[in-house]
Amino acid sequence: MITPYHVLNPNRVVQKRSATSSFGLEDLASDVYALGCISADWPDKSVENEFRAHAKWIDAYGVSISQSDFCQKVEPCAVTLPRANDTTSNKDTDQSLIRQVLKTRRCRYLARELDWYLEDVYGNRLYQLVPSEYNMQQLINALTDTKSNPRRTINVLVVGRSSGGLSSLDELTITKFRSMTAHDIAKHIPKLHNPQSCRDLTHVIELYLSLASNNGVTDEERALNYLLSYGYDFYEKMYRQRSEGNSKSIHLVSIDARVHYAGERTLVYVVFNFQDSKTSALESWYSTVDVTDRFPFLISAFEPYINVL
């Protein structure tokens, strides 16, 4: 079984060089290219009560997304809410309740009242998201499509600008939002489109997506996150390595991210180091990602790496 081990330098932040000499507060913001999971929470008790009222309304009358007489059955304010001391609330049940309400089309206006977050696979909040009207529906879809599963998996890519707010959690203004599951990535590899291989590949992709436990701020983190999102050659190589019967002897032991400056461009070599547990032989493969601008892109396919001094 391939055991991922993540080695990057989290303290190294490379700021993009600017041709202008002026420096303002906007220059303190950082381009973010982060992978994670979407969650939502109510900012105060009044919003929570509104959601709980609509949830009781939906439970009582079976209102679904296809019913047009949603507003004619009963008013939400007519539902008697339990007292705060009588409710046992935790994060999982709150998320389920929010998903239940937002799945009903006529309740989706309430999404604007929520606080939206990007979390890692362990449920730690990375950013508070600042969505626009353009990408609000995408956030709703990403949240409501999430199935209740104790094993969390990476399912979204968020690109934007982060700026420190008054709270301890940075705010991230969304530029690009993409729902991205392991199955979606597997479908981009046409050679593996039979059902069994697609399931096996999906499992491999989920395993490596868990490596994206970072904030997506440094050049190295942004390059790794891009490769995990769009590295189809990389995933095909990992799948074939596993299917050839080497999964018990070949292990991923480390990841190196090496920055190289080519004129005005900033390139990152993302190097995956593997070791054979039987022979202790090392084998390294890499891809090159251009991270100069807000949107990284791939320079080279996944190929053997030779360290040249």
Helix (H) or strand (E) holding 308: none
Angstrom distance (rounded) from CA 79 to CA 57 = 7
Predicted confidence (pLDDT) at residue 303 exceeds the cutoff of 70: yes
Q: What is the pLDDT of residues 257-301, one digit of tens each?
A: 999 999 999 999 999 998 888 888 888 999 999 999 999 999 998
Residue 222: both structure tokens together: 């942004």
Residue type at 134 in one-letter notation: Y
Q: pLDDT > 70: what percent of the chain?
A: 74
Q: Which pLDDT band holds residue 62 (cuts at 50, 70, 90)?
A: low
Residue 118 burial (CB count, 10 A): 27
119 to each of 85, 204, 213, how far by Cα in Å? Answer: 29, 21, 9
Residue 232: both structure tokens together: 């189809």
- Select from 115, 146, 143, 145 the least CA-distant residue to 131: 115
Average pLDDT over residues 55-74: 61
Angstrom distance (rounded) from CA 271 to CA 258 = 8
State how beta strands 156-163 and 30-41 pair. antiparallel
Predicted confidence (pLDDT) at residue 247 exceeds the cutoff of 70: no
SS3 80: coil
Angstrom distance (rounded) from CA 15 to CA 50 = 43
Residue matched to tokens 């390595």: 241
Model-level pTM? 0.79
Predicted confidence (pLDDT) at residue 199 exceeds the cutoff of 50: yes
Q: What is the pLDDT of residues 85-128, one digit of tens each?
A: 444 447 778 888 999 899 888 888 899 999 999 999 888 999 99
Q: pLDDT > 90: what percent of the chain?
A: 40
List alpha helices for 7-128, DSSP H.
45-61, 70-73, 91-102
Residue 54: both structure tokens together: 């609509």
Q: What is the DSSP letter of 122?
A: T
